[in-house]
Amino acid sequence: MSPRNYLRYILPDALFGTERTKEILHVNPTVEYVRKPVERVHISVYNYNESTLEVEQFDRVEDVYYCKDHGLISWINIDGIRKEDVEAVCAHFGIHPLLAEDILSCNQRPKMDEVEGVLYCLLNMLYFNKDESSVEQEQISVVLGRNFVITFQEDPDRDVFNPVRERLRMANSKVRQRPADYLCYSLLDLIVDNYFLVMERLGEKIEDLEEEVVRNATPIAMARITRLRKELIVLKRNILPVRDLVAAIIRSESDLLDERTEKYFKDVYDHIVQAADLSENYRDVMTSMQDLYINNVNLKMNEVMKVMAIVTCLLAPATVIGGIFGMNFDVIPMLHNKWGFFISVGLMLFIPLFMVRIFRRRGWF
């Protein structure tokens, strides 16, 4: 284990993750968020139909303007968000300024909007950080228009869309045979499926923690329970709204959605409902684990108090005898008897042994 991981268990703030609490709970979407300047913007474009595929890479958003009316279906993936780039792309492709504001915003609740012939989905991709045992999120915006899909990502170094890229390179794949709404479905499906991978990692952490709590309920275990419960909050905050998002797409009567694609979105809905149920199960397990920790601590305390009470009871006769014969009176029975000391010590030993026998008969220990 690295020194940093050891420090997590020594420093109180690091142990209980107070900084993580601020990240999770201190969210105010009404406050304008200033993004850090992006050094570079990477744009990948996939223009395709059932017989043609063109893959291009650009560094300027102006280079993708030709994709609007060129006869092929286009997937424009923009990695790295800059205000001027987002506003320029939205203006050229007829995306409403309100949607541009949502793309530039942070900490938004996942949602689906349909504005002026464009279907817009905002949600988060989730990743599991093994080093920190935390759930990381990256906001992504998916814009479905007539024969194009535009995705805006914050992190240019990672996403979950590689399976879609591989399918696009296959001429006989469904995504090549279907309209742009099927591409939109494929992207949402991969995001939802990745939720299960994150939950599997969390599930492994929960299983290990449960064994630790059963074997040895320590303050460190309680701190780990607290940290995992915070990560489950992140998970639930991202999963439940996506269920409403997919349901809104299914209910939508937009011309951009083909009737044949509806059953695929229903499949995504089934997956996200299952993910929501699983997150609730995880939360119940963590609540039960916290109760188990408290019960184990109370059980240990009861065992300690039981031993101390027994020891106190066994020493009480010796204390009484020693107190009686230690009084400063002129006349005390057996004061000058040469066997007095041995008789008193014998009583101090015999009476506790007799008490132990009675306690065992009664089943007190």
Closest CA relative to residue 152, chosen from 163, 162, 138: 138
Q: Please identify which residue in the block is written with the tokens 């990745």.
A: 194
Q: Residue range 226-245: average pLDDT?
A: 89
Distance, in Å, from the CA atom of 119 to the CA atom of 263, rounded to the nearest integer, reads 18
How far apart CA 200 and CA 204 sit, in angstroms, is 6
As a whole number of angstroms, the distance between CA 53 and CA 170 comes to 9
81 vs 334, which has greater pLDDT? 81
- Choose among 208, 236, 285, 14: nearest CA to 126: 236
Pairing mode, strands 42-48 and 53-58: antiparallel
* Euclidean distance between the first and the last CA atom of the chain, given in angstroms as a whole number: 42
Q: In this structure, are strands 148-153 and 73-79 parallel, antiparallel, or unpaired? A: parallel
CA 150 remoteness from chain centre: 28
Task: Name the CATH superfamily for 3-296.
Answer: CorA soluble domain-like (3.30.460.20)
Q: Is 219 helix (H, G, I), strand (E, B) or coil?
A: helix
The b-or-e profile of 243-253 (16+ CB within 10 A means b, else e) is: bebbbebeeee
Q: Which whole-number Å values give the CA distances from 275 to 16, 191, 269, in the listed order?
A: 27, 12, 10
Q: What is the pLDDT of residues 85-109, one digit of tens each?
A: 999 999 999 999 999 998 988 888 8
Q: Report whether pLDDT(14) > 60.
A: no
Nearest to 256 by CA among 53, 73, 44: 73
User: What's the rounded Cα separation, in Å, for the pair 343 and 334?
Assistant: 10
Six-digit token pair at 43?
Answer: 């744009």
Alpha-carbon distance 239 to 137, whole Å?
12
Give the domain ranges of the chain. Answer: 3-296, 327-362
Q: What is the pLDDT of residues 295-337, one digit of tens each?
A: 888 888 888 888 888 888 888 888 888 888 777 777 777 777 7
Mean of the per-residue pLDDT values of the chain: 85
Average pLDDT over residues 16-36: 63
